Amino acid sequence: MANVRLVDLTKHYKRGSEVIKALDGVTLDIDKGEFVAVVGRSGSGKTTMLDLLGLLLKPTSGSLFIDDIDTAQLGDRQRAQMRAHRVGFVFQEYNLLSGLNVLENVMLPLRYAKNGKEGRGRAIELIDRVGLSDRIKHRPTELSGGQMQRVAIARSMVNAPSLILLDEPTGAVDTETAQQLVDLLKRLNHEDQVTIVLVTHDTDISGQARRQIRLKDGRVLTDERVGEGIPVA
C-alpha cells in the first residue's frame, strides 16, 4: 500500500507579480516502510514538499493521499487529527520546550491525539529505545545536540505514526553524532516499519537511504533506489 501518494502536486507563492513555484508538479508514491532521502540545493522545494506531506501547508493544486485518504477532502479538524495520529515531525532546531523535561517533551503530542493514558508507557519505552533512559527527568538545556535530537525523534513517534518527516535533522550536529542519529532512524524504520522521509544536504547520509529523490526547481530531477540501482521513475 502506498503510504503517501502525490499526484501532480504544486505549491505556488505570489510575490508581487512573480509566481514562485516552490513545488511544481510532483507525482510519486512512497510505500509503507520506505526510507527515503530528499536531496537538492537550497530553494529546490524540499521543505515545501515535506510540509505538504505533513499537512502543515495546503497545496495550490494536485492531490495528496495519505494511507489512501484524499487529504483535500478533509476539514480543518480532520486534517489536524490526521497530522496528530499519522505523522511525526523532526526539525533541525529540535523544537523542544525548554520548560519541560525529556519525558514531558516526548509526551506532548499525546495531548493532540488524545492518547494520554496509554501514551505514557509508550513515551517511556521510546526514550529507552533512543538511549536516554538515564536523562528522562533532564531539561533540554542539560542535553547535547544529539541527545536533543533523540528526544525529538522519540517525540515524533509517540503517537505511533505511519510516517516520520525529518527536515535536516542532522544539520546542527557533528558527523559522528549525525551518523548515530541515522543509525537510530534505520533501526526504528526496520523495527516499526515506519516510513521515513528525510531531507538532508549531507550526501553521506542520503547515500544510506534506500531511495533518493532529488528535487530541482520544485520538480523531481531523479528518483532512484540506491543499492538495487533501479530507477523508480
- Residue 47 in the binding site for ligand ADP (CB under 6 A): yes
CB-based burial of residue 20 (10 Å sphere; 0-12 exposed, 13-18 middle, 19+ buried)?
middle
User: Which bin fits 100, alpha (ψ -120 to 50), beta or left (φ > 0)?
Assistant: beta
Count other C-beta atoms under 10 Å from residue 7's C-beta.
15
Count other C-beta atoms under 10 Å from residue 15's C-beta.
7
Q: Count residues contacting ligand ADP (CB under 6 A)?
A: 12
Nearer to Mg ion, 85 or 201 (CB): 201
Partner whose binding site includes residue 44, from Mg ion, ligand ADP, none (CB under 5 to 8 Å by kind): ligand ADP
Cβ–Cβ < 8 Å for 189, 33? yes
Partner whose binding site includes residue 40, from Mg ion, ligand ADP, none (CB under 5 to 8 Å by kind): ligand ADP
- Residue 13 in the binding site for ligand ADP (CB under 6 A): yes
State how far the Cα of 10 lies from the Cα of 12, in Å rounded to an integer: 6
Nearer to Mg ion, 113 or 165 (CB): 165
Cβ–Cβ < 8 Å for 2, 163? no
Nearest residue to 37 (alpha-carbon basis) of 221, 208, 181:
208
- Residues 48, 147, 156, 206: which binds ligand ADP (CB under 6 A)? 48
- Residue 62 in the binding site for ligand ADP (CB under 6 A): no
Partner whose binding site includes residue 13, from ligand ADP, Mg ion, none (CB under 5 to 8 Å by kind): ligand ADP
Nearer to ligand ADP, 46 or 129 (CB): 46
The residues of the shown chain that bind ligand ADP, judged by CB under 6 A, are 13, 15, 20, 22, 40, 42-48
